[in-house]
Amino acid sequence: MRRAPVAAALAAAFGSAVAGAAAAPPPWLAPVALSGPAPALPAAGPVVATGRAGDTAVAWLRPLGTSGADAVEVALRERPSGGFGPPVRLDVRPGRGGGGGPAVAVQRDGAATVAWVRDGVGRVAIVPPPGEPARPAVEVPAAGPVGAVEVGVAEGGATVVAWEEAPPGDPAGPTIVRAATRPPGGGPFAAPVTLGPAGSGEVSLDVGGGGATIVSWLGPEGAVWAALRLQPALVWTAPVRVSAGGGARAPRGAVGDFGDAVVAWLEDRPMAASHVRLGAGWRPAEPIGPAGALAPRGRLSVDMAGLGRAIVAWRQGRPLGVWAATRNDPATVPGRRWHLRRVATGPRNLGEPSARVAFSGDALVAWSQPDARGAGVRARVLLTSGRAQPAEAVSRGRGARVAPALALGTGGAATAAWTARAPGGAPVGTVAAGRRRIAP
Give me the DSSP letters along 328-377. Answer: --TTTSTTPPPEEEEEE--SSPPPPPEEEE-TTS-EEEEEEEEETTEEEE
- Sign, CA torsion 227/233/234/235: positive
Rounded to 10 degrees, the C-alpha dihedral 384/390/391/393 comes to: -120
Separation of alpha carbons 196 and 216, rounded Å: 9
Note the pLDDT of residue 279. 63
CATH architecture of 13-17+27-435: 6 Propeller (2.120)
Note the pLDDT of residue 328. 84
Residue 425, helix vs strand vs coil: helix
What is the pLDDT tens value at each position of the chain, 440 positions in all?
Answer: 443 332 221 122 222 222 233 345 557 888 888 887 788 778 788 999 998 888 999 999 998 877 778 999 999 998 766 789 999 999 998 865 567 899 999 998 899 999 999 999 999 999 998 778 878 999 999 999 999 999 999 888 899 999 999 999 999 999 999 999 999 877 899 999 999 999 999 999 999 878 899 999 999 999 999 999 988 778 999 999 999 988 999 999 999 988 899 999 999 999 999 998 766 689 999 999 999 999 998 999 999 987 789 999 999 999 999 999 999 877 666 556 799 999 999 888 999 999 999 988 999 999 998 877 677 889 999 999 889 999 998 886 555 556 799 999 866 789 999 887 765 556 677 777 777 655 44
By the 8 A CB rule, do 261 and 252 touch? no
Give the 3-state secondary structure of 109-151.
CCCEEEEEEECCEEEEEEECCCCCCCCCCEECCCCCCEEEEEE
Separation of alpha carbons 435 and 30, rounded Å: 10
Separation of alpha carbons 431 and 399, rounded Å: 12
Separation of alpha carbons 153 and 176, rounded Å: 22
Note the pLDDT of residue 436. 61
Note the pLDDT of residue 246. 87
By the 8 A CB rule, do 420 and 340 touch? no
43 exposure class (CB count in 10 Å sphere: 0-12, 13-18, 19+) = middle
Tell whether pTM > 0.75: yes
Residue count (the chain): 440
- Backbone φ and ψ for 410, nearest 5 degrees, come out as -55, 130
Separation of alpha carbons 416 and 355, rounded Å: 10
Note the pLDDT of residue 1. 41
By the 8 A CB rule, do 413 and 437 touch? yes
DSSP 380-424: EEE-TT------EES--STTEEEEEEEEE-GGG-EEEEEEEE-GG
164 exposure class (CB count in 10 Å sphere: 0-12, 13-18, 19+) = buried
**Domain boundaries in the chain?**
13-17+27-435
Alpha-carbon distance values, 39 to 282, 373, 427, 431 (Å): 47, 21, 5, 16
